[in-house]
Amino acid sequence: MKGRMQKISTDTWLQKDRAEPESYAAGQTYMRITENNLTDVTTLEDGLLEQILSPSNLNRAYKKVRNNKGKGGVDKMEVDDLKNHLVENRDELLRSIRDGKYRPNPVRRVEIPKENGKKRLLGIPTVVDRVVQQAITQVLSPIYEQQFSPHSYGFRPGRNALQALSKCRDYITDGYIYAVDMDLQQFFDTVNHSKLVEVLSRTIKDGRVISLIHKYLRAGVVTGNKFEQTKLGVPQGGPLSPLLGNIMLHELDKELHSRGHRFIRYADDLMVLCKSKRSAERTLRNIIPFIEDKLFLKVNKGKTNVSYISKIKFLGYTFYRYKGKGRLRVHPISIQKMKRRIKLLTSRSNGWGEARRKEALNQFIRGWVNYFKLADMKSLMQKVDLWYRRRLRMCIWKRWKLIRSRLRNLRKLGISNSKALKLASIRKGYWKISGTPTLNVAITKERLREAGYTFLLDSFLKWNT
């Protein structure tokens, strides 16, 4: 294959030799991990690895990784380099996976700042490993979707956070007004590998697939130039991680369901709803031993609590009851985050022009309102819009800079010469000037709308009509 280019198509780019058998008739011995030790287990080949490595599945995985883009891993190969690499190394890659000799690269550690000042640890796999992980995910996901609980909503096809929140609202309407707000401490970083493999082995009978997944779990991490082994955890950042997280936490879903609880889980965000505070406290007390002693996960007892629904923050929302009906509000912390983002987008330090700033602001506002459209927030949006328009006037005033530019623009907007001269000559801060009556008359809501700016209330009313 080396030295010549081959066109990649959805039919041929990883096509196997026609003489190669589709499956093996005999059982084979694979290394399988149990909770106690490593043992040799003989399993009958059921063709799952062949499904993962089928040309159609690998082509779909390649397209997904290519379209998702993202940064490269420890080998510094970028997504744009992936096509040529796969053309050159297709046969070797497939052979090594089939023979059980494939060794995934360690993930590249990336730290993402969190709102509380801490950092979320991501592990970025190489682009080749992302293709293989995506191929595994595409085959396993439909299998596990048949098992997963209807109470879990995160990282599942056809399910989303708004559906989870709607279910919360239904439970509250039914009288479940106390919540166990469960915080699993660093869930993705503390998953017990042996327990996860044990759970996987109940469904996956192809030992080669189990072995391949375990190799990804144990591939290690590189921080800077330092390699570290990974004895615990499912590194966030790869296509396989969300599915493995859901497979692990499905064990908790089953336990909660068997006890008759009303619960909603979105990835590792879990809330159990009860009708009384006493019932919620008993639920919390009884479920912690299962989480810690059976699943080997840790409950953050400092953040896990029992509260009335209006005191809970779940997926950015909070809840209340009105005339016996469950209702939703935007949590104050979510409002603070939104305003911080708008401040950043309207900051003069980013050096953006008007067109780029407008596009970024409109995109953010539409996305934010679309996510929070279930909340009762008409009056909130009116209030935030007043603040937002003032931020826009501040940006425009900064852009005018010179006195003559300010005079010219104010006159064009219908401000008298005397008022325009007075405002243009004021040596106050930008924020103070943005709140003056003269600038409000000059740069009205209607003019900003005509200029192409989207407002929160407009977007909210659009989604709710």
**Domain check: are 429 and 354 in the same one?**
yes
What's 241-284 look like in SS3? HHHHHHHHHHHHHHHHHHCCCEEEEECCEEEEEECCHHHHHHHH
> In this structure, which amino acid lies at residue 59?
N
Hey, what are 4's tokens? 């010549």
Answer whether residue 400 is part of any domain. yes
CA-closest candidate to residue 262, choices 367, 352, 150: 150
Residue 134 near residue 243, CB atoms below 8 Å: no
Residue 184 near residue 300, CB atoms below 8 Å: yes
CA-closest candidate to residue 283, choices 303, 291, 269: 291
Answer whether residue 180 is part of any domain. yes
Answer whether residue 102 is part of any domain. yes
pLDDT of residue 121: 86
**Domain check: are 175 and 315 in the same one?**
yes
Question: Domain of 287: which CATH number?
Answer: 3.30.70.270
Residue 220 near residue 229, CB atoms below 8 Å: yes
pLDDT of residue 46: 55
Distance (Å, rounded) from C-alpha 317 to C-alpha 310? 10
Distance (Å, rounded) from C-alpha 422 to C-alpha 414? 14
**Domain check: are 284 and 376 in the same one?**
no
β-strand 226-228 against 107-113: which pairing, if any?
Answer: unpaired
Answer whether residue 14 is part of any domain. no
**Domain check: are 320 and 341 in the same one?**
no
**Domain check: are 39 and 98 in the same one?**
yes
**Domain check: are 458 and 336 in the same one?**
yes
Answer whether residue 201 is part of any domain. no
Of all helices (H) and strands (E), which one includes residue 164?
Answer: helix 161-173
Average pLDDT per 10 consecutive residues for the chain, totaling 465 residues: 36 38 30 32 61 96 94 93 93 96 95 79 95 98 98 97 98 98 95 98 96 97 93 94 98 98 98 98 98 98 96 97 97 97 88 90 98 97 98 93 93 94 91 95 96 96 85
Q: Which domain holds residue 323?
A: 168-186+241-329
pLDDT of residue 112: 86
**Domain check: are 141 and 181 in the same one?**
no
- Residue 134 — φ and ψ, nearest 5°? -65, -40
**Domain check: are 51 and 135 in the same one?**
yes
Answer whether residue 215 is part of any domain. no
User: How many residues are present in the chain?
Assistant: 465
Q: What is the CA radius of gyration of the chain?
A: 28
E-assigned strand segments in 9-67: 28-33, 38-43
Residue 90 near residue 125, CB atoms below 8 Å: no
Distance (Å, rounded) from C-alpha 310 to C-alpha 328? 9
What is the DSSP secondary-structure string of 377-438?
Answer: -HHHHHHHHHHHHHHHHHHHHHHH-SHHHHHHHHHHTT--HHHHHHHHH----HHHHHTSHH
The residue out of 285, 304, 329 marking a domain boundary is 329
Distances (CA, A) of 132 to 58, 82, 90, 127, 191: 8, 12, 12, 9, 21
Neighbours of 183 (CB within 10 A): 17
CA-closest candidate to residue 372, choices 331, 341, 337, 313: 331
Distances (CA, A) of 57 to 12, 48, 63, 103, 454: 11, 12, 10, 21, 41
Answer whether residue 353 is part of any domain. yes
**Domain check: are 181 and 314 in the same one?**
yes
pLDDT of residue 29: 30
Neighbours of 464 (CB within 10 A): 12
Distance (Å, rounded) from C-alpha 450 to C-alpha 28? 70
- Residue 372 — φ and ψ, nearest 5°? -95, 15
Instruction: Look at the chain and report how many structural domains it folds into.
Output: 3
Distance (Å, rounded) from C-alpha 80 to C-alpha 323? 56
**Domain check: are 421 and 325 in the same one?**
no
**Domain check: are 83 and 181 in the same one?**
no
The residue out of 307, 329, 351 marking a domain boundary is 329
Answer whether residue 157 is part of any domain. no
**Domain check: are 341 and 412 in the same one?**
yes
β-strand 178-183 against 221-223: which pairing, if any?
Answer: unpaired
Neighbours of 47 (CB within 10 A): 12
Q: What is the pTM of this model?
A: 0.85
Residue with tokens 């009303």: 262
Contacts 24+ apart (CB under 8 A), 157-164: 161/266, 161/315, 161/371, 162/371, 162/373, 162/374, 164/264, 164/265, 164/266, 164/315
Distance (Å, rounded) from C-alpha 252 to C-alpha 149? 10
